[in-house]
Amino acid sequence: MDNKFIAYCGLDCESCEARLATINDDNELRKKVAKEWSEMNKADIRPEMINCVGCRMEGIKFAYCESMCPVRQCAMAKEMDTCGTCKEINSCPKVGAIINNSLEAKERLLGK
Ligand code: SF4
Ligand code: SF4
């Protein structure tokens, strides 16, 4: 996958508000993202934690994406370009948690 904005799981980091807040150093957007993600994940995510340039980009990443996301860890360990090149994609529960809820992510990975 040439487009490095596309994450291993097929999500588009280019449109992610955490990335936009990071590249624009926008603290108001960091606050908005932290509030939304805290509510969504029932966690205490603070604005200063919102720093990420993208899953497959060189540079800083949100802590979850960096080291806790099972898809990113698995795809890197298998040296996959993305999950789209993995033969387990149709039976994998890890990437399934994303692509079964996002047809767009699935289509990006499968190049449709
Ligand atoms: S890796 Fe970073 S830019 Fe991509 S979805 Fe996660 S937080 Fe957003
Ligand atoms: S096993 Fe699943 S998460 Fe791991 S690379 Fe393959 S499709 Fe992606």
pTM, two decimal places: 0.93
What is the DSSP secondary structure assignment for residue 10, as one 8-state letter?
Answer: S
Q: Compute the distance between CA of residue 105 and CA of residue 42 in angstroms, rounded to an integer.
A: 24
Residues whose beta carbon lies within 6 Å of some atom of ligand 2: 71, 74-75, 78, 80, 83, 86, 88-89, 92, 94-95
> Please, which pLDDT band fits residue 105 given cuts at 50, 70 and 90?
very high
Average pLDDT over residues 39-54: 97
Query: What is the distance between the alpha carbons of residues 67 and 111, in angstroms, rounded to a whole number?
Result: 26
Q: How far is the CA of 87 from the centre of ligand 1 (A)?
A: 24
Number of residues in the chain: 112
Condensed to tens digits (0 to 9), the pLDDT of residues 58-94 reads 999 999 999 999 999 999 999 999 999 999 999 999 9
Asked if the structure places residue 3 within a domain, the reply is no
**Domain carrying residue 98:** 13-110
How many folded domains does the chain comprise? 1
Distance 84 CA to ligand 2 centre (A): 8
